[in-house]
Structures are given as C-alpha cells and as structure tokens.
Structure 1
Amino acid sequence: MSKKYDTPLLDELEKGPFPSFVKEIKLAAKHSDMSGDLLGHTELCFKERVTHWKHGGIVGVRGYGGGVIGRYSDIPDKFPGVAHFHTVRVNSPSGFYYTSSALKEMCDLWDKYGSGLTNMHGSTGDMVFLGARTENLEPFFAEVSSRGWDLGGSGSAMRTPSGCLGMSRCEWANIDAMAITNDITQHYQDEMHRPAFPYKFKFKVAGCPVDCIASIARADMSIIGTWKGDIRINQDEVANYAKTMDIKAEIIDMCPTGCMQFDGKTMKIDNSNCNRCMHCIAKMTKALRPGTEKGATLLLGSKAPIVTGALMSWVIVPFIKMEPPYDEFYDLVDKIWEWWDENGKNRERIGELMERLTFTRFLKDVGLDPHPAMVKEPRRDPFFFWAEEDIER
C-alpha cells in the first residue's frame, strides 16, 4: 500500500464533467508506490508553483538511442518513488488496432516494471508508458521486444509514424493509410531509433482531406489522400439529399472556392476550381464521390509552438501516386533530410528552416518545380524580385 498524501489542489481537478488524470493516478496508487509518490510530488509542484522535474537527457536501452524519455525529480529524498520517472514509447500498430489480449499483456508488463500509468496515445502516436526506474528499462524492453513490440521514436529523430485507419473502415480514404504508415516505419528504422537529426521529424498519413488526425497541423510531413479528375455526381441522390437538407446553405455557400452550383434539381461542379477539401463529399456521401485516379498531396512544415510559433504545413507536392514500393516518395524525403541536415540549426524544425531560408530556396535546393498549389498566402507587397539566372533565361 503506497503512502497517502493530502492533495487539495489536485482534488480540484477531479471536479467537473470531464475525465481527470488525477483520478487515474489515484487508482494506480492503490498498488504502486511510484504512482502514490507521483501524487505527492505533483501536489507540491502545484503548491510551490514550480516544477520539481529535471530533464533527464538521453536514457536508452542497448542498441537504441531513442524511445525512452529521461526524467528525474530534484527532490528524490521527499518522494523516492519518483526519483526516476522515465517514459517509454512503444511503437503502435497502424490504425491503432489492438487485440484485448495484446493490451492486457502490455499493461501487465508495465505493472511489473513501471508505475502502471499509460497514455493511449501520445501526440506522436505511440503507446506511452509513464514512469520507470533506470534499472527497469532494460528488462522491460527485453520482455516487450520478445513479444514482437518495438520502441518508438524520441529525441532528435524520426518519430513514430502514425495514420488514420484508412481503407480498413473508411469509405472516404483515397490511399491505404495503414499500409503507408507501416512501410515508412519499416523503411526508416535507423532514423527512428538512432537520433541524428537537427530536431524531431513526424510523418502522419491521412486517408483523405477530412484529415481526422489533423496531420496538417501536427506533422512535419503530412501525407493526405486526394484524387485527380472530376468529382463523381449521382444526381438522383442529390435530389434525395435536397429533401432533408438545405443544399445551398450547407454545401454550395460553404464551398471555399465557390465552384459549385445547384438549381434545385441538378448540381454542377467546376472541377478546375475545386481545391478538393471534401466538405461536400463528407456531407453528401451517397451523392458525391472522389475521382477515380487516387493519390496523395505531400505537405511540409507544421509544428506546435515550442521554439517559435505554431506552423501549419504547406504543399510541396500537389499529387503523387503513393503506391508500393514508394521509391519517388522516399527519394524526395532523403533529399529533404539532407538539406535539413546541411542547413538546420540545433532544435530547428524543418518548417522553421524553410521560413528562415525561404520556400524559394527550399524548392531550388531540393529540386522541386514551383506550382500554384504551393502558394500559402497572397503576396504581401506588389514588388517582384528576379534572380540573375531568371533574367538570363
């Protein structure tokens, strides 16, 4: 039985309609001294309004430089259970499909070697196991790997790729998001387990532009399923939708490019002006379907506000087939990483580097041709600037 602490400040976080991490820690504390001391440690941090966690630097297991996030308390004498509180990331399956027996197996192992606390899933996409002592990392990893699991990414490395469940359950998917996620994971094992980048790099794969996983805001490289050609229209189903919804208000007026028309009976789409946001398809699934030539749009550069402000990713390849063996895709990623490695500063994400050296420089150095879809925002001034080689041409 773990030591009990008075936690009036943490208790406040259990109030209200939403689930509370405090409740879960208290449940774990019934059979874990580490979770019990975590309550007292966190309460003191709140009371003194200062963190008592030290960054642990790189703590790893044999052969892996990533996958474990080091963390130590600066008051280990008061709370010995959290003197070490390392986090272990375990690579999740594509689409986050688990069997109940697999989850039970992992939870049993974590009760044996760690605090019993988990995070399903972290922002990176891994299963996250919170709180282990240094001496327990190697035996935990040995048991996990013997059962077919692998560590995820951490540190200045490629983070664990993640994606939506794609074609396994979603009729909107234009690409096989699960297969692509798995292939990237297998292809870049060294880059995930042995940190060698200026900073972290995340892949996220969305089967369609609805982008349920918010890759456009959370991934250094977003792979978003799209199509070429005209949206397919079933006018009979359009008429059925017109009986139950205001098509003009909910579809036509909501189109970001104004490329749709509806006269009360027939829908028309100017596909040359469609930006394939898929709002209309998502709202009228039986009446509208993507074109038959499927592929993906590649975007680059999004991140959360850490060193500098938040960034949304922007288009670097408007359309790529994304079919096995993905050679064109991997060739481009290798060029991007080489450019980042040569020019990036320590802890500078790829999006920050593109902003610093300009998108024009990025396109030239990586060898991508400019395309109107790459325009992220309108020109801010009326002046044009020409390089000498442009004038010579």
Structure 2
Amino acid sequence: MSEVKKHDTPMVDELKKGPWPSFVDDIYTYAEKHKKQACFDIMGQLELSYKHKETHWKHGGIVGVFGYGGGVIGRYSDQQEMFPAIWAFHTIRVHQPAAKWYHTSALRKMCDMWDHRGSGIVNFHGSTGDIILLGTVTEQLEYIFYDLTHQLNWDLGGSGSNMRTPACCMGYSLCEWCLFDVQEMDYELSMAFQDELHRPAFPYKFKLKFSGCPLDCVAAVARADLSFIGTWRDDIRIDQEAVRAYVGGELPPNAGAFSDRDWGPFDIKKEVIDLCPTQCMYWDEKEKKLYINNKECNRCMHCIAVMPEALKPGEDTGVCILIGAKSVILEGAQLSTILIPFMKTEPPYDEIKDLVYKIWDWWMENGKNRERVGELIQRVGLNRFLVDVMGIQPIPQHILMPRVDPYIFWREEEVPGGWTRDLAEFRKRHPA
C-alpha cells in the first residue's frame, strides 16, 4: 500500500473541539486506518475553502449509470493538481428501505463494497432520506451500480428533476399511534413510480412523505410536495380515570419523557387546555372530568402526547393529504396546504396513484423550470387548482384563516344572481 500524503488543516481541526462528535475526527480516523488518500484530500480542500471563503467544487457535466437519469450527483474539484485523489468525488444516492430498517449484514456488505469502490465515507441519513455514498470516480460508477443492484439487492434513489426517494416514519413497527400502514404505502408507491423515480421528466423535484399520525415525525408537512398524515374522523377516546390520575400526579406527563427535569405538579389547564390551538377542551374542576368538543378539534395530538394513558386517537382512521411544502428555492419556504382532509386507504392504493398522476400531469404541463408544485399552486391560485384540476370545491379545512383584508376577488361567472343584486344595492347606498 503506497504512502498517503497528509495536509495541514488548522482551521478544519478546530471542528474537533467541543462536546459534540466531529465528522473531522471520523474521517481522519477512517483515513488513517485504511490509508485513503481521498479522505485526506477532502480535508485539505475543505481547509482551502475555509481559507478562500469559497467552494472549490465545480460542476463538470452530467454523470450517471446506463438507463438511469438520477441517483448520481456529479462533483469535481477545481484544484485537481493539489488534490488528485478527489479530481472526481461523485455522490451515490441509495434508496433506503421503508422506515430505515436495516439488517446489519446488509450494511456490512454495502460498506465493504464502498471501501473497495469509493472513498468509504457514508452519510446516514442526509436530508434527502437516502443513504449517501460520498466520493467516487466516474470509472467506478457502473461497477458500483452492478454491485448494489445485482449483489446486494439495493437500488439507486432519486436525484434531479424527478420523484425523490419516498420516506416514512417507523409506523406500525414501533409506534402505538400510527393510524395507517406507512411502510406498506411507502413501498407500494416506490414500486409503482419506478420510472418517475429514476428518469427525470418533471419541472423540478417531487417528494412523497408518509407520517403515521399528526405528530409528523418525518416533518412531511414542512418538506414534502405531497404529504400523507395519519388522522381520524371520529372522537378522541378518553379514559377519565387516567385523566384524573394525571391531574393527581399519579401518572407522569409526556410518558415520563424529560424526567431529568422537575416540571413541578402537573397543571392540566396550563399544559393541555390553554395550549389547545382551537380551544376545544374544558376541564371541569368540580366534576373532575375532561370535555372535548371534537367538532372543533384539528387533530394536532398535543393533548394525546401529554397524556398518552388518558387520551387516544379515534378508531375511524385514514389519511389527510397535503400539498405544496418546500424549502427556499425561487421564493421563500412554505408549508403544506390541506388537499383532502380525510381519505380511507388500503393496498394497492389505486385512488392515491390516480391522484398523484393527476397532479403530475397538470404540473408538467403548466410548471416552469425549477418550479415546485407548491409554487405553481401559489402562482395560479389554490382555488383554481382545487376546482379546475382536482374537481373539488374549496372547504374551510383548505385555509388557515379567513381573509383579513377588505378586498374580495371573484370571476363574474362564479357570482350567483342573488349576490349580484346585493352588491348592486350596496353600491347604490355607498357610491364611494
């Protein structure tokens, strides 16, 4: 094994200090053990970037594997003479299993392959959700793809203007609050949309995420173009004896979480009633009984998380479908908007697939380059999207609050005759 060349990295070494684990320690430890020149060069180039206050990665063209348009992100150094081992440092995205359940033998085989074919640096998990294999050269891409798909039974994830790798929470496998089979839906839609996942044809990226309950552990509402959130449409189940046990201090709130901090006596008014976003709850101190106006409940699940022994979701379960979340791209970040407040689902999810294809067809026809579907809806208007594309009438659940300014806009054909007469009468009385 040839001797490796190390670089002086005083600014990068500063990241080793402090109480938190450091990627610098991790990379240097691995590089020393396996004599990986690419790892030393990546640290050397990072030091140079800190010194110059600019990146030294350049985009030198599209790279990939035969038959796939996504899954590989090309990366080249603009300091190839100084750092020859990372002249190319391509990233491979590997499709993670639903809920990120792994067998250790599968992970060991993948890591052995990556030690042989690439830099050995792995990211579990990036914001994309995929397993990220960081750093290889162009000549190794087809070999890596063959090893992943034929030897290890993995596949590449999404990258570019396509459907990105779907992601879900732990679901039934770990969580008592899961309200639909997130892992089954994740797998079924991943298999159904293989062409959209591997061959970019969209205006920009499209993300599907699945959370088993409104606590939304995968942050779908903030990150996904189409979110599926478990919900219910009957009443919250209440165990009044358990509620009294929480109030009396016999049961710890939040299932005993944060037990290292003394929160003092449990105050149901302060911790639950006053924090209800719709103020739909009432604690009768005299009767020692909790009342919930379920028609006003927006299913945030705060009360259930605070008193899990006393409150549980209803039993008539399904999904709430939201659309349009994204981070900062052309415009600012935005959260999802409710599209369908409640839908019952079961495999093979044909109604979900039809819905996705309808959205994609409209987006591909009307979306601009690098325009996420949420930005397109924002540009044309939510009402037009709901009525003209989805064929559904807007309902109160589609908005956070009514308009707070005095200006009302409508198309002439949307105004009923009675409204027109009322408006004409109003203008006679108030000419200004």
**Equivalence map 1:351-370=2 (5 Å):** 351-366=374-389, 367-370=391-394
Relative to structure 2, which stretch is displaced further, 87-96 or 234-243? Answer: 234-243
Partner Cα separation in structure 2 for residue 20 and residue 181 of structure 1: 33
Structure-2 change in CA distance of 1:377 and 1:57 (3 Å): farther
Greater CA drift, 202-211 or 320-329 = 320-329
Distance across 2 between alignment mates of 1:381 and 1:240: 47
Verify the 8 A CA contact 1:58 1:65 in the aligned structure 2.
no
Contact 2:281 2:292 in 1 (8 A): yes
From 248, 269, 275, the equivalent of 1:254 is 275
| Aligned residues of 1:28 and 1:115 also touching (Cα < 8 A) | no
Percent of residue pairs identical: 55
Q: Which amino acid aligns with 2:21?
A: P
- Structure 1 residue aligned with 2:407: 383
Corresponding pairs, count: 393
**Aligned partner (choices 298, 314, 331) of residue 308 of structure 1:** 331
CA distance in 2: counterparts of 1:365 and 1:12, whole angstroms: 56
Query: 1:339–1:365: 8 Å Cα contact kept in structure 2?
Result: no
| Aligned twin of 1:173 | 178
Corresponding residue number in structure 2 for 1:162: 167
**1:218 CA drift (Å):** 1.1
Structure 2 residue 172 is matched with structure 1 residue 199: no
Q: Which residue of 2 aligns with 1:3?
A: 5
Structure 1 counterpart of 2:132, which letter? V
Q: Matches of 1:170 and 1:340 in 2, distance apart?
A: 35
For residues 9 and 67 of structure 1, what CA distance do their matches in structure 2 show? 33
How many Å separate the matches in 2 of 1:110 and 1:348?
35
Letter in 1 for 2:307: M
Q: 2:100 aligns with which of 77, 92, 96?
A: 96
Q: Give the match's secondary structure for 2:74.
A: strand
Task: Tell me the secondary structure at the aligned position of residue 151 of structure 1.
Answer: coil
Aligned to 2:17: 15
Deviations 1:100-155 (Å, cap 9, x if unpaired)?
11111111111010100011012121100000100001101101101211000000
Q: CA deviation at 1:384?
A: 2.1
| 1:58 positional shift | 2.7
Equivalent positions of 1:326-341 (< 5 A) are: 326-341=349-364
Which of 26, 29, 38 lines up with 2:28 in the alignment? 26
Matched residue, 1:133: 137
Is the 8 Å Cα contact of residues 181 and 212 (structure 2) preserved in structure 1?
yes
Report the counterpart of residue 184 of structure 1 in structure 2. Answer: 189
Is the Cα contact below 8 Å between 1:124 and 1:202 reproduced in 2?
no
* Distance change (3 Å), C-alpha of 1:377 and 1:9: farther
Which residue, out of 219, 222, 231, partners 1:226?
A: 231
SS of 2:203's partner is coil
The CA distance in 1 between the partners of 2:61 and 2:199, in whole Å, is: 15
Structure 2 counterpart of 1:171, which letter? Answer: E
TM-fit CA distance, 1:47: 0.5
- Residue deviations 1:373-392 (CA, integer Å, cap 9, x gap): 11034414222222122136
How far apart, in 1, do the equivalents of 2:198 and 2:393 lie? 33
Q: Which one-letter code corresponds to 1:374 in the other structure?
A: H
Q: Larger Cα Rg: Structure 1 or Structure 2?
A: 2
Matches of 1:381 and 1:57, distance apart in 2: 49
Check conservation: 1:2, 1:29, Cα contact below 8 A.
no
Aligned counterparts of 1:86 and 1:368: Cα–Cα separation in 2: 45
Larger deviation, residues 323-332 vs 128-137 = 323-332
Which of 363, 369, 373 does residue 397 from structure 2 map onto? 373
Do the aligned residues in 2 keep the contact of 1:13 with 1:20 (CA within 8 Å)?
yes
Deviation at 1:341, TM superposition (A): 0.5
Q: What does residue 425 of structure 2 align with? A: none
Unaligned runs of 5+ in 2: 250-265, 418-432
Counterpart residue number, 2:427: none
Q: Does the CA-based 8 Å contact 1:57-1:69 persist in structure 2?
A: no
Structure 1 position 344, deviation (Å)? 0.7
Q: Distance in 2 between matches of 1:283 and 1:277?
A: 12
Q: 1:51 aligns with which of 38, 41, 55?
A: 55
- Match for residue 241 of structure 1? 246
Match of 1:119 in 2: 123
Match of 1:105 among 97, 104, 109: 109
TM-score by structure 1 length? 0.97
2:387–2:394: 8 Å Cα contact kept in structure 1?
no
Q: What residue identity is the alignment partner of 1:132?
A: T
- Letter of the structure 2 residue corresponding to residue 29 of structure 1: A
Q: Is the 8 A contact 1:95 1:166 kept in 2?
A: yes
Q: Structure 1 residues 150 and 255 mapped into 2: Cα distance closer, same or farther (>3 Å)? A: same
Alpha-carbon offset, residue 323 of structure 1: 1.5
RMSD: 1.2
Query: What is the rounded CA distance, in whole Å, between the counterparts of 2:394 and 2:58 in structure 1?
Result: 46
Give the alignment partner of residue 147 of structure 2, picking from 139, 143, 147. 143
What's the offset of the Cα at 1:99?
A: 1.0
Matching residue's letter, 2:394: P
Q: Distance in 1 between matches of 2:109 and 2:296?
A: 52
